Amino acid sequence: MVTPDPEPTPEPEPTPDPEPETPEEPETPEEPETPEVPETPTGDYAVQRGDTLYSIAISNGMTVAQLKALNNLTSDIIVPGQQLVLTSGGGNVVTPPTGNEEENAYTGDDLPDLTNAEVTAVNYDVKLNGKVEPFRSTLGTEASPISVVDHFGERFTVTNELTIGGETFLELTQNGIVSGYVPVSAAVEVPQGVKTVYLDAGHGGSETGAYHFGTAEKDLNTVISNRLADLLRGQGYHVYETRRTDVEVSLTDRSQATNEIMPDIFISIHHNAMGYPNTGTARGIEVLYHDPRIDEPGYETLEHHESTDIIPEGIRLSQALQDELIAATVGTGTVNRGIRPQNLHVTRVTDVPAALVELGFQDNWTDYQLITNTNYQTKLVNGLLNGINAFFTGIK
């Protein structure tokens, strides 16, 4: 059962009523195995499985940038057991940001000339997530830069870091060809040569989601998400997770954690229910996505998504998941409710292609018997796995 902002446009056939859910929630996503651990002084905190820089930073009243600076980190990747320093010299927690820390906004006149910059050869992948920085096509200043937003969410390989006047710029390449240069603040490092998936088990903690026949939706969501995560890792995917246990995190933290990491796709896992007086009248599987056509005042499509493929790819992801879920459950009597747009926080605000799956109606006795059956759950997990594989296979 989804718990978004407002519930969108009416749907054909009994459509789940607005979920009376409080914020959905990611627990901090999970960090898989990663490269070598940077050397840091004896730390105040040992990284745990499932931690991210974002989760550690917000838990200690600082920004990710401050945490990275304290520990001389050059990427967002951390590993279990890594020691992190959480205090500055005198043992005081780093002061939280004042709110005036604005990203560097360059104009055409103040761009530094990079022809004489110090060059360091590197090799790692990034995704662009800046909104105000320039994307320049030349080292010199002869060509006017465009906005980095025009390439928002795109993946590049960084082949050189260029430093001048204390500022670092990244040389971006695709297929061995230099595409341009951006300030380091405009990009986030992502695992190289591997697809990344963020799985979001809906609800958790006091947020039970739907509750019918003695079963809380949050528990069903956890079972499916955990099993799917394990299978994805077995196939070589880099998987982040909102939660693997019964914890509660806000909708805002859920989307912020995703955007801090910039995975390739985001999938939120839910089970459905109808509101009174339609309780128990609907059945089936459906997948929800965001579409600007259902924007509402205060819940509009993010401006920096408009010139990207985030929304069309979210629709394509939704269709791939729905097709494979139905194929995996054929012969069980489940109902194919298709895919449809719905104005939900997690699909509207995440900066990557996103889909929210509703795997069956808990308040319908026939569906309930299916979704609580271990063999049927295996079919659902396999359907989701096949849908993810189909989505990535279709990327040109």
Which pLDDT value is given to residue 249? 83
- Per residue in 226-246, pLDDT (tens digit) is 999 999 999 999 999 999 999
Q: Where does CATH 3.40.630.40 sit in the chain?
A: 196-393
Which pLDDT value is given to residue 187? 96
Which pLDDT value is given to residue 45? 85
> Is residue 30 pLDDT above 90, yes or no?
no
* pLDDT band, very low/low/confident/very high, at 70 (cuts 50, 70, 90): confident
User: Domain 196-393 adopts which CATH fold?
Assistant: Aminopeptidase (3.40.630)
Whole-angstrom Cα distance, residue 20 to residue 38? 44
Residue 83 neighbours by CB under 8 Å, 6+ apart: 40, 41, 42, 43, 45, 46, 47
Q: What is the mean pLDDT of the chain?
A: 84
Q: Which CATH architecture has domain 111-190?
A: Roll (2.30)
State which H helix or E strand residue 158 sits in: strand 155-164
* pLDDT band, very low/low/confident/very high, at 90 (cuts 50, 70, 90): very low
Highest mean pLDDT among 92-96, 149-153, 336-340: 336-340
**CATH classification of 30-93, choosing from 1.25.40.20, 3.10.350.10, 3.30.390.10, 3.40.50.300?**
3.10.350.10
Number of H helices, E strands in the chain: 8, 17
> Is residue 25 pLDDT above 60, yes or no?
no
Q: Where does CATH 3.10.350.10 sit in the chain?
A: 30-93
- Per residue in 165-188, pLDDT (tens digit) is 999 999 999 999 999 999 999 999
What is the average per-residue pLDDT within 244-252? 92
Which pLDDT value is given to residue 34? 39
Q: Where does CATH 2.30.30.170 sit in the chain?
A: 111-190
> Is residue 384 pLDDT above 90, yes or no?
yes
